[in-house]
Structure formats: structure tokens, C-alpha cells
């Protein structure tokens, strides 16, 4: 088994995280979090549900926006890639390209994003690794797009803990807490249920849009639970995460920075 701090450089949760000051030991796999099947709607005049495999595509709209088709006649208005800076455009495009992905075997947390980072339990019977993976997904999207990512179980670096995105943002000066007046930008990562005292968070998701007046972003969720168990799906006005009863509230956003 390759240690989590040995990052694979190829082209191309959650739960409690115990901060460590050394790079060598990796923590035990995160405990399974309680999940709820929240019935919060995807909202809006357009968005009625989350995406299923192969259901999403983009339709051009005048200037600066597209309609992301959700299937079954539903859609959501999101910024077009052409209207975004190159790094953020790549993040959005890559996140959207993964919509509909689900774990294998089904009804497990066995996924390819954790396997990319060599993080999780090797009990899937295939190339996937087993752990809750919203943070692994968000880190994978950022790295594939060319954003700066260091994946290690060290304070200030990114890893399978959702709270690691908060630590990363604080260390890089790119953390924007709710209430600061910051307006989310596509390519950001939204953090939910943050407890700064214990350095834990419930969930993270990749922002692909924001409608003024909404309480939360339009976001692509890895390890999402709205329409099934542990898949990649979209939600609009996501001010509550669907990771435990009641939904963890939005805590803030982390902005990406360009990698080397």
C-alpha cells in the first residue's frame, strides 16, 4: 500500500481529521458519517433534480451563460467557460464532466478519486479505494485543472478531510467565511459544517455558479447523497449540505490558485 503522502503526478470524509505535524503517519480511515436523504429540491425555475449518468449537457445562451441540462426537462443557468479565467474554466469543465459518476461496487464508498490519491482502504475488489470522498473529489478536480494542490496528511495541506480545504485556504490566504461579503466564483470549493476548534467539516463541493439572491452556490458534489448513494451530482442554492440530519450549513469558500 502506498502511503497517502506519496502523490501520483499523472496528467490528467470525511469525518474527523486528526491534525498531524509529521508527514509519515497516515490516520485511520475516517469514520462513516451519518447520512440523510434530504429532500431539499435542487431549486429554481429550471433545476428540479440532480444529474444522473449521461444526463447532462450544455446549451449555449447569450453572452456569458449556458444552460446545464439536468435531464427530465430540468436545467440550471451557469456561467459559460468562455466567460471565466482559464484556470476556473478548466475546474468547472472537469467537475461537470464527472457528473453521474457513482461508486463501484454500488452502495460502498469505493471510488476512483481516493484511489488517485492512494488514500482509503483497499477492500473494493478492484482498482478503487474505500473512503468517503467529497474532499478527494474536489482536490482531484483542482489538480486535473492545473490548480495548486499538495495532498498530504499534514496541517495546511489537502487530504480526505473536508476541513483540510479550510486549512489550505487559511494558509494560502484564500479562505472566505460566510458573512465576509465574498461572492462565490466558479472554481471555488464550498465548505460545509466547519468546526474550527476541532478542525472538522461535514462536506465540500465544487462551485460552478451562483445566482444573486441565493443563500448558497450551484455546486458539483462528490460523494453526493441527494438522488442516490455516493455519487457525483449537482445542487443549486446549496446552503445546506446533505451529509447528516438537518444538513450542515455553508461555512465559506476556498479559492484556487495556479499550480506550478
Q: pLDDT digits over 212-231, tens only?
A: 899 999 999 999 988 889 99
Residue 232, φ and ψ in degrees, nearest 5 = -95, 125
8 Å CB contact between 162 and 135: yes
Report how far apart the first and last C-alpha atoms of the chain are (Å, whole number): 28
Residues 188-200: tens digit of each pLDDT:
999 999 999 999 9
Please tell me the distance from the alpha carbon of residue 220 to that of residue 243, in angstroms, as a whole number.
14
Please tell me the distance from the alpha carbon of residue 229 to that of residue 231, in angstroms, as a whole number.
6
pLDDT reading at 40 higher than 50: no
Domain boundaries, the chain: 86-254
Which DSSP letter does residue 50 get? P
Pairing of strands 218-224, 110-111: unpaired
Residues 49-102: tens digit of each pLDDT:
333 333 343 433 444 767 676 655 666 677 767 789 999 999 999 999 999 999
pLDDT-derived band at 116 (thresholds 50, 70, 90) equals very high
Please tell me the distance from the alpha carbon of residue 234 to that of residue 68, in angstroms, as a whole number.
10
User: What number is the average pLDDT over the span 218-245?
Assistant: 87
Q: Which of 25-29, 117-121, 197-201 has the lowest mean pLDDT?
A: 25-29
Entry pTM: 0.74
Question: In CATH, which of 3.40.190.10, 2.60.40.10, 3.30.70.890, 3.90.1720.10 is domain 86-254?
Answer: 3.90.1720.10
Amino acid at each position: 500500500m502506498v502511503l497517502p503522502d506519496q502523490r501520483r503526478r499523472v496528467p490528467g470524509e470525511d469525518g474527523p481529521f486528526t491534525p498531524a505535524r509529521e508527514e509519515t503517519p497516515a490516520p485511520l480511515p475516517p469514520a462513516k458519517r451519518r447520512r440523510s436523504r434530504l429532500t431539499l429540491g435542487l431549486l429554481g425555475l429550471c433545476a428540479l433534480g440532480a444529474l444522473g449518468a449521461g444526463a447532462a449537457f450544455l446549451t449555449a445562451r447569450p453572452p456569458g451563460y449556458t444552460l446545464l441540462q439536468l435531464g427530465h426537462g430540468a436545467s440550471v443557468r451557469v456561467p459559460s467557460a468562455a466567460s471565466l479565467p482559464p484556470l476556473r474554466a478548466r475546474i468547472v469543465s472537469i467537475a461537470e464532466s464527472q457528473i453521474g459518476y457513482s461508486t463501484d461496487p454500488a452502495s460502498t464508498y469505493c471510488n476512483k478519486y481516493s484511489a488517485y490519491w492512494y488514500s482509503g482502504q483497499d477492500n473494493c475488489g478492484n482498482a478503487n479505494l474505500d473512503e468517503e470522498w467529497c474532499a478527494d473529489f474536489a482536490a482531484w478536480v483542482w489538480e486535473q485543472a492545473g490548480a495548486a494542490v499538495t495532498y498530504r496528511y499534514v496541517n495546511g495541506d489537502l487530504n480526505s478531510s473536508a476541513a483540510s480545504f479550510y486549512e489550505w485556504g487559511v494558509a494560502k490566504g484564500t479562505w472566505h467565511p460566510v458573512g465576509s461579503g465574498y461572492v462565490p466564483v466558479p472554481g471555488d470549493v464550498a465548505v460545509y459544517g466547519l468546526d474550527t476548534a476541532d478542525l472538522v467539516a461535514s462536506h465540500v463541493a465544487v462551485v460552478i455558479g451562483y445566482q444573486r439572491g441565493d443563500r448558497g452556490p450551484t455546486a458539483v458534489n462528490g460523494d453526493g447523497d441527494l438522488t442516490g448513494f455516493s455519487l457525483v451530482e449537482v445542487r443549486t442554492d446549496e446552503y445546506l449540505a446533505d451529509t447528516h440530519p438537518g444538513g450542515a450549513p455553508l461555512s465559506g469558500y476556498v479559492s484556487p490558485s495556479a499550480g506550478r
